[in-house]
Chain A
């Protein structure tokens, strides 16, 4: 059994927001198709506005900027994107 692929979704999860629900669903559906275990966790933007953001971001195999602005911390969101861009981390924002 391969290791779970770990995806960190940068954003402030709102259960009632359809795009957020669809994000999780699409990731798990794709993982099922690829037959790979998947771990998805949301990373609150405020958590990335503090020191230690790099350590938090570096735990994931892929990062994603969630839809649904404005974010609780725009700065935190930008830090996440900048990390992925400059550190060559798999990234998408939709």
Chain B
């Protein structure tokens, strides 16, 4: 979406000069022993006006992580110019979630809401995602209201 032909993740070691995903610079304070840099819990700010905020219902949140890589902040402005919106930030302002406004449902997070979801209390994020999929399924199954564009029947050729 940035129209960068060799955009890559640093994890792939491709030698690309445009790594839009790079190793996280800081470890989380709650880092698990032997775990990746971002492992454990972190407080974050969910930005008002975003879809993620509508799902989570508050600005202050705390989520579970298990990863080593994140968005290269040098490309943040380009991502925003391309239509991606930051929807959550870490305590030092790092990008923690992005979304596409106007899309049916397109949210990517650095944290993993599945790690804090529980059978008796499923994470709101998954409820919202499934609701979006259900709505989409319903919309897809509706018969089209527009008249199908069938070719006109050809006039029978007159017998000679």
* B43 at interface, CB cutoff 8 A: no
Interface residues on A, range: 35 or more
Q: How far is the CB of B23 from chain A (nearest CB, A)?
A: 12
Q: Tell me, yes or no, whether A67 is within 8 Å of chain B by CB.
A: yes
Q: A30 touches which one: B8, B12, B105, B122 (CB < 8 A)? A: B122
Which residues of B from 118 to 137 have beta carbons under 8 Å from A?
118-119, 122-123, 125-127, 129-134, 136-137
| Count of residues in B whose CB is under 8 Å from the partner chain | 39
**A56-94 to B contact mask, C-beta < 8 Å, 1/0:** 000001101101011000100000000011001111111
- The answer to the question of B67 belonging to the interface, with a C-beta cut-off of 8 Å to chain A, is yes
Answer whether A91 and B115 are a contact pair too, CB < 8 Å, given A61-B136, A69-B69: no
A contact face: mostly helix, strand, loop, or mixed: mixed
Cβ-defined contact, B108 with A27, below 8 A = no
Q: Does B4 have its Cβ within 8 Å of any Cβ on chain A?
A: no
User: Which of chain B's residues 2-58 have a Cβ closer than 8 Å to chain A?
Assistant: 8-9, 11-12
> What is the minimal beta-carbon distance from A53 to any residue of chain B, in angstroms?
18
Q: Are A22 and B112 in touch, CB under 8 angstroms?
A: yes
Q: What's the least CB distance linking A10 to chain B, in Å?
A: 12
Contact of A5 among B114, B118, B123, B134 (CB under 8 A): B134
Contact of B119 with A29 in the complex, beta carbons under 8 Å: yes
Q: What sequence of 0s and 1s flags, for each residue 138-160 of chain B, a beta carbon within 8 Å of any chain A beta carbon?
A: 00110000000000000000000
Contact B100 A62 (CB under 8 A): no
**Of the candidates B67, B123, B125, B130, which one forms a contact with A62 in the assembled complex, judged by CB atoms under 8 Å apart?**
B130
B-contacting residues of A (Cβ < 8 Å)? 2-3, 5-7, 18-19, 22-23, 25-27, 29-34, 36, 38, 61-62, 64-65, 67, 69-70, 74, 84-85, 88-94
26 intermolecular pairs with C-beta atoms under 8 Å apart = A5-B130, A5-B133, A18-B66, A19-B114, A22-B114, A27-B114, A27-B126, A29-B118, A29-B122, A30-B122, A32-B119, A33-B127, A34-B131, A36-B134, A62-B129, A62-B130, A67-B66, A70-B11, A74-B8, A89-B136, A90-B106, A90-B129, A91-B105, A92-B105, A92-B109, A93-B108
Chain B interface residues (CB < 8 Å from chain A): 1, 8-9, 11-12, 66-67, 69, 100, 103-109, 111-115, 117-119, 122-123, 125-127, 129-134, 136-137, 140-141
Kindly list the 8 A-B residue pairs having the minimum CB-CB distance in the complex, ordered from nearest. A62-B133, A30-B126, A26-B117, A26-B114, A93-B108, A90-B105, A30-B122, A61-B137
